[in-house]
Amino acid sequence: MQVKKLVGVLVFAIAAAMPSYARARPLGASQLVELAIEANPRVRAARNRYLAAVHSIKQAYAPNDPVFSFLNGDSPVNPIGPPSEQSFQLSESFQFPGKAMLQTDVARRNAEIARLFFLATVRDVRAATEAAYYQILLDGALAQVSAENVANLQRVLKVTQVAYAANQVTQADFINAEFDLAAARQAERENRVAEANDETVLNQLLDRPPGTPLDLDRTLHLEPLTVRVDTLVAQAAAVRQEILEAALSERNSETALKLARMEYLPDFTATYIFNHYLVPNFAPSPTDTQTHGFMIGFNLPVFFWLRQNEDVKQAAYSLDAARDDLRSVRTRTAAMVTSIYRTTQFAYETAGLYRDSLVPLSRQDIEVSLIAYQSGKVDYLALAGALRRGYNANLSYLQAANRFLAGRVALEQAIGAPLPK
């Protein structure tokens, strides 16, 4: 594990240090996810907590430490003075047979729960990394749309300037064109700032300084969902970490109920005693000044109605709660996967409609309206409306693409694993 971690860190360091032109290709979503899993502090912390839980398993069935006692007795001078007898005792406490095995089972399940929490952290960091990457692409595309809008408005400004100089339009058209162009330039700057902030978020997930440059593959791919929703629901029921954690918690609650019932059974204490009589008259006989003894004790559940009974009832209610939690997380997961699937499918259809039909129509509308304005067939309001429709069509496409990509990420997060290919 240490070698794998070291290799991952070296790969990340090389990728960060190499100039963009020296890399084989820009970083895509999968490469960024690998780097984030290796470098993200949340993932490292969850991994260490899992390893800590693993090393607590053996402690569950380890016996208690023995207790050694020494008695310096019947000293006529002082407690540590010359004694009349010395006694050595070695005591060891034992649980009723079977308790340690059940406690070990609980420790193993707790370690498995820690492992599932680690996997859930990896899943969440993967989702956050993919979401940040896609947000960079979308804000970059939105900045390009704003730049295209600025270019169109610059053309409109030149046209209105020429028309105004020729007294074909009023000065209001020229002023409106200047206003729209200034507002579009400011919107483009805002989108560039949003893109830079997205890169800061991605650098944070990669545990890098905020201003570190990123060589990213900025190609926007929209791949449709080809898996049936019932297949995804079944996959989520089998692999989602929260469901598996709830199932393990239920089993731990069952074991806790068994342990609570075993509290009625006694625990034992065995003691070995060695006495050395320094005054022979104190010994059982003048010639037997050293004796050996053995003592065994066990607890009695005298106050069972205050302790053991309540422990059993508490464990039974905790078991019922764990079972209800398991049913709840299963139901919520199925509903969440189904809802996200529908929303993501609709977003893909919407993005396809704007990309393949409405955006090309809006660009054609801009060119036709610009020619019509130059010939005096339409006024500035109609031209501005065509520009606005074109910008809104591109914006709606990117918003739909954003909802689709966010839906894919949320779907993988809800399932607990990447979508099947």
Between CA 156 and CA 367 the distance in angstroms is: 11
Read off the pLDDT band of 348 (50, 70, 90): very high
Confidence of residue 96 (pLDDT cuts 50, 70, 90): confident
- The domains located in the chain, with CATH, are 2-39+95-266+301-415 (1.20.1600.10)
Enumerate the β-bridge partners of residue 298: 268
- pLDDT recorded at residue 165: 85
- The pLDDT of residue 276 is 87
Question: At 303, phi and psi to the nearest 5?
Answer: -100, 45
- Reported as a pLDDT band with limits 50, 70 and 90, residue 9 is very low
Give the global pTM: 0.79
What pLDDT shows up at residue 112?
94
**Residue 288 pLDDT exceeds 50:** yes
Residue 51 has pLDDT above 80, yes or no: yes
Q: How confident is the model at residue 162 (pLDDT cuts 50, 70, 90)?
A: confident
End-to-end CA distance of the chain: 28
Per-residue pLDDT, 15? 43
Which residue(s) pair with 93 in the sheet?
Answer: 269
Reply yes or no on whether the pLDDT at 5 is more than 80: no
- The whole-number pLDDT of residue 24 equals 54
**Number of neighbouring beta carbons within 10 Å of residue 286:** 10
Residue 411 pLDDT class (50, 70, 90 cuts): very high
Q: Which one has a higher pLDDT value, 130 or 13?
A: 130
Question: Distance (Å, rounded) from C-alpha 32 to C-alpha 130?
Answer: 8
Say what the pLDDT of residue 347 is: 95
| pLDDT on residue 6 | 37
How high is the mean pLDDT of the chain? 87
Q: Flag whether pLDDT at 286 surpasses 90.
A: no
Report, as an integer, the average pLDDT of 88-94. 90
